Chain A
Amino acid sequence: MINIRSLSHVYEKGRKIKFPDWRIEDMDQWLLLGASGCGKSTLLHIISGLLKPTQGEILINDTDLYSLSARGMDRFRGRHIGIIFQRPHLIRSLNVLDNLELAAVMAAMPIDHERNLLLLKDLGIEALAKRYPDELSQGQLQRVSVARALVNKPDLLIADEPTSSLDDENAAQVIEMLTTQAKDNGAALIIATHDQRVREHIAKTYLL
């Protein structure tokens, strides 16, 4: 499904990172491991089409990601890739349900109200649908951002350090949630982390 070949990126300051080739099949679940600052985020940004690599190619479903136009890439990202950030970035002026709808609107997809409610229910936060981000706890916010990443039925779910700001219990819940949701929604999963707690949950690892 995803094929990364002879990829390397040169930072503005001149530091160069070479990424090993990587092949991810449909519904695979991978850990992206490495110490802070070794290029995990950079690789994730490259895979999500946010950062053009200096060299190499990345094929998602046989589409060469960086051959798309800027607009085409935005659209591709919106429809095929769900991203969960280290911090749950929600739009503060919109309530939880609106934040989910926003994902559909921004990707120019139809709004599926039923599915959004179902997602919230699966993640155990259906009671928070009308709440605003400022009223939620970190754990709740993280769940909402998982739900948002799943709104457009992505083929690939990317999570960047999803557990780093959570305690053991919440971290375990989030990992559990990510793996099951990815499976239930038929999406491949990449979790980038340096968190040892995550390692026991996922077998395949890609080391930087």
Chain B
Amino acid sequence: MNIFKISSKNLVRNKLTTILNIILVAFGVGILSILFLASNQIGNKLEKNAKDIDLVVGAKGSPLQLILSSIYHIDYPTGNIPATDAYKLAHNPMVKRAVPLALGDNYNGYRIVGTDTSFSHLYGLSILKGNFWQKDLEVTIGSTVASSSKLKIGDSFFGAHGLTGNGDIHKQHAYVVKGILKPEGNITDNLILTNIGSVYKMHEEKHEQVQHHSSAAEAKEINDKQITALLIQYKSPMSVILFPRMVNQSTNMQAASPAMESARLFSLIGVGIDTLQWFAVFIMAIAALSIFISLYNAMKERKYDLAIMRCLGASRSKLFFLVMFEGILVTVVGACFGLLIGHAALEVIGAYQESSQAKLTGLTAVPQEIYLIWIGLFIGSLASLIPAMQIYKVDIAATLTKDR
């Protein structure tokens, strides 16, 4: 028998009110924790995937689309650029590393990316099993691709034209899995990597079935053909201003900075997050009000109980703490439920998400969530402060002589 037991027994006695208050707090905290987790994970993903990439060069169009398609592999590419122009840029003295990308096909929704070895250097990829691709039609797959499509080394599969769906399958050539990448926790887990030649082969055969290339010509990755985009790393930060301007003004291509576009994207999402955040705060405020009202109303009946406890020798401060504790207990239980709801909801959202690239999970926690428990404590004590103050006003003698 202690204060905890007295409070919880009293809460159990008023089940419905207690449940309502817990639900209100839980919803507020739940929404906030979803927001915290989701914005944290999205932010992390954006940052991680764009790490070390200073600039993306691609066909003219929306810079955001260019970034989304060639770094995050979410949107469709803006178009193609001549490989020769890209090659020239890649050898610009300001460029430290240039990674060509040739997109266009997918396998079960996982994008097949034609590139060269610089890609694996850029992302610091390492092999879990097997080898990197070497020849045409050899692929190295990301860890998520391997686990969800159950492809093993030596397996072969057909790519489908387009970036989603299995409609138009390239039946002429099959890819062979040569290796599986270590999980990196970024976009490369969801990619199928091959050389650019393979991507050309897929598409050339379709249009120019009569022609037969010599194997030497095929091995040459960058010739007079087209690629989708070029990921660029600068030699020095100085180039940040010069290089994009040069690309945008003197070539028929556009340069987009991942940092700027990600920030823009985040500010667009941010409006929604802000709104939801206010909504959650609003719910929490209602929860506080509801706890306040129920405690305050209950004080009429409890005044009696509290007067008895005073008679039994309890000091005012003890009873003050008792009432405070009830409010705090409700909000802390509510906050814990809220965190559970938040994580569970995010996990469910993640499970139903179409795009495997930006999958959300509820199985991680962020440090801000600790604040949510503190906020619960704060709201609980705020809401129960005024009812608890009543303790100091109760006239025991008068209360006890009156009938219940």
Contact = CB atoms under 8 A, between A and B. Distances in A.
Interface string A97-132: 010011111111001000000000000000000000
B311 A77 contact: yes
B17 to A, nearest CB: 13
B309 interface: yes
7 contacts: A74-B313, A76-B313, A83-B311, A89-B305, A91-B6, A106-B313, A148-B312
B246 interface: no
Interface stretch (A19-27, A43-51, A172-180, A200-208): A43-51
B310 A87 contact: no
Contact of B308 (A48, A70, A91, A111): A91
Nearest to B305: A91
A162 interface: no
Contact of A50 (B10, B311, B315): B311
Interface of B: 1-2, 5-6, 9-10, 12-13, 304-305, 307-318, 396-397, 400-401, 403-404
Interface string A133-165: 000000000000000100010000000000000
Given A70-B316, A71-B315, A89 B9 contact: no
Interface in A49-86: 50-51, 70-71, 74-79, 83, 85
Given A50-B396, A92-B13, A93-B13, A98 B315 contact: no
Contacts of A91: 6, 305, 308-309
A79 B315 CA distance: 13
B1 A101 contact: yes
Given A50-B397, A92-B305, 18 more contacts: A50-B310, A50-B396, A71-B315, A74-B310, A79-B313, A89-B307, A93-B6, A93-B10, A93-B12, A94-B9, A102-B1, A102-B309, A102-B312, A105-B1, A106-B309, A106-B312, A107-B314, A108-B313
Given A50-B397, A51-B397, A101-B1, A106 B10 contact: no
Contacts of B1: 98, 101-102, 104-105, 111
Nearest to B13: A93
Nearest to B403: A87
A8 interface: no
Contact of A77 (B13, B313, B317, B403): B313
A107 B313 contact: yes
Contacts of B312: 78, 102-103, 106-107, 148
Contacts of A98: 1, 5, 9
B315 A93 contact: no
B217 to A, nearest CB: 87
B315 A70 contact: yes
A74 B317 CA distance: 11
A94 B397 CA distance: 23
A98 B305 CA distance: 14
Contacts of B311: 48, 50, 77, 83
A105 B315 contact: no
Contact of A41 (B9, B318, B401): B401
B13 A106 contact: no
Contacts of A108: 313
Top 7 nearest A-B pairs (CB, nearest first) are A78-B313, A107-B313, A106-B314, A93-B13, A106-B312, A101-B1, A45-B397
A108 B307 CA distance: 17
A92 B12 CA distance: 11
B80 to A, nearest CB: 74
B18 to A, nearest CB: 12
B308 A89 contact: yes
A92 B9 CA distance: 10
A83 B400 CA distance: 11
A91 B12 CA distance: 13
A92 B304 CA distance: 11
B268 to A, nearest CB: 52
A154 to B, nearest CB: 10
A152 to B, nearest CB: 8
B295 to A, nearest CB: 14
Q: Which of A50, A76, A101, A152 has the most CB of B within 10 A?
A: A50
Contacts of A87: 403-404
B390 to A, nearest CB: 17
